[in-house]
Amino acid sequence: MARTDNDTWDLASSVGATATMVAAARAVASRGPDPVIDDPFAEPLVRAVGVDFFTRLATGELTPADLDPEETGGVGNMDRFTDGMAARTRFFDDFFTAAAEAGIRQAVILASGLDARAYRMTWPADMVVYEIDQPEVIEFKTTTLAGLGAEPTAQRRTVPIDLRQDWPAALREAGLDPDKPTAWIAEGLFGYLPPEAQDKLLDDVDALSAPGSRLAAEGVLHSDDYDEDTVRERMQAVTDHWRAHGFDLDFSQLVYIGERAEVTEYLARHGWRADATSGTDLMRRYGLGTPQAGAVDGAVEDAEEDEDGQANFANVAYVTATK
């Protein structure tokens, strides 16, 4: 079903299902040899959502090799997708760790989904972690983790609100002090926002950020030969491939494909010092393979080839910025 202005979702449908998909990938990555991440909550959270395809992946009943990527020429390759999500997760973990070591004591996770960083990371005792997402998503995760006996390792404050509403006011009401530096992450988010909504979100982050604040996010760099029809065709191939294995979700209907502001340039114009790392370089940093077509979450706009001649949906830039 195509997105609408006021659509809602749970963790088994629409945009919410992509959060479950990524959590399943984190569960797979956490089981691997010499894993670059350790997310003990990913598997039980996925099982609680109850989408059979993701449950079988998260528990190991279905392995990435079982998805037979060769039948689509590599499109939908779950091994590569899992590596990509492992690298992405580690990138944002490292960002928060560095921010805390620098003395920042406020962290905000935008569209937190099944993110369990407030439970699994080691935080300073006085760290406050704010999680923003739709009320149903926040309630599900909070209840499920409480049922597991999990305790946050930071002062966790939830902000149950849609990002299309006045989330800055809700965040301040929850206790955020805009006069103190804040560490923000937007993980796997921008592709699900229209271009103008991405700009507004960055404007809101800027307005709430004192000097010394930091932001980590994914941005998309457009190539000169960008073609929307080609991108949609490749996304449809992924949809068809995964549908054959019991997961029916049309990714091309969930995201907003098209030109949008490059995050580093946008932030630079607003007084932030920003740098970016490519998805390929990020995976190499953590000793993983290179991304491939099929890594749809957070990489849904462009199409290019990496050094091995393998097609990617997007030239994803992993951005870190300081105000």
Instruction: Say if strands 315-322 and 273-278 run parallel, antiparallel, or are unpaired.
Output: antiparallel
| 119 in any annotated domain | yes
Mean pLDDT in residue range 248-257: 75
- Supply the DSSP string of 17-62, one letter for each residue: HHHHHHHHHHHHHHHSSS-S---TTHHHHHHHH--HHHHHHHHTSS
42: Cβ contacts below 8 Å, ≥ 6 apart: 23, 24, 26, 27, 30, 58, 114, 116
Locate tokens 């077509």: which residue?
A: 293
Task: Please tell me the predicted confidence (pLDDT) of residue 249.
Answer: 75
Cα–Cα distance measured from residue 283 to residue 289, given in angstroms and rounded to the nearest whole number: 6
Cα–Cα distance measured from residue 323 to residue 321, given in angstroms and rounded to the nearest whole number: 7
Does the pLDDT of residue 305 top 60, yes or no? no
Residues facing 241 on adjacent strands: none
Q: Which of 152, 160, 150, 144 is nearest to 125 (CA)?
A: 152
| 38 in any annotated domain | no
Does the pLDDT of residue 208 top 90, yes or no? yes
| 2 in any annotated domain | no
94: Cβ contacts below 8 Å, ≥ 6 apart: none
Q: How confident is the model at residue 1 (pLDDT cuts 50, 70, 90)?
A: low
Total count of domains within the chain: 1
| 58 in any annotated domain | no
Lowest mean pLDDT among 28-37, 45-54, 284-293, 298-307: 298-307
Residues facing 183 on adjacent strands: 107, 214
Task: Please tell me the predicted confidence (pLDDT) of residue 72.
Answer: 42
162 versus 228: the higher-pLDDT residue is: 162
Mean pLDDT in residue range 286-300: 56
| 15 in any annotated domain | no
CATH of residue 131: 3.40.50.150
| 132 in any annotated domain | yes
Does the pLDDT of residue 223 top 70, yes or no? no
Does the pLDDT of residue 297 top 60, yes or no? no
Angle at which helix 52-59 crosses helix 14-31, to 10 degrees, equals 10
Cα–Cα distance measured from residue 58 to residue 79, given in angstroms and rounded to the nearest whole number: 13
Mean pLDDT (the chain, rounded): 85
| 34 in any annotated domain | no
Domain that holds residue 236: 66-322
Does the pLDDT of residue 185 top 70, yes or no? yes
pLDDT in tens, 31-84: 978 899 999 999 999 999 999 989 999 999 988 777 655 544 444 567 788 899
237: Cβ contacts below 8 Å, ≥ 6 apart: 72, 75, 76, 293
| 40 in any annotated domain | no
SS3 of the chain: helix, strand, coil, percent, to 5: 45, 15, 40
1-83-246 Cα angle (round to 5): 35
Helix (H) or strand (E) holding 318: strand 315-322
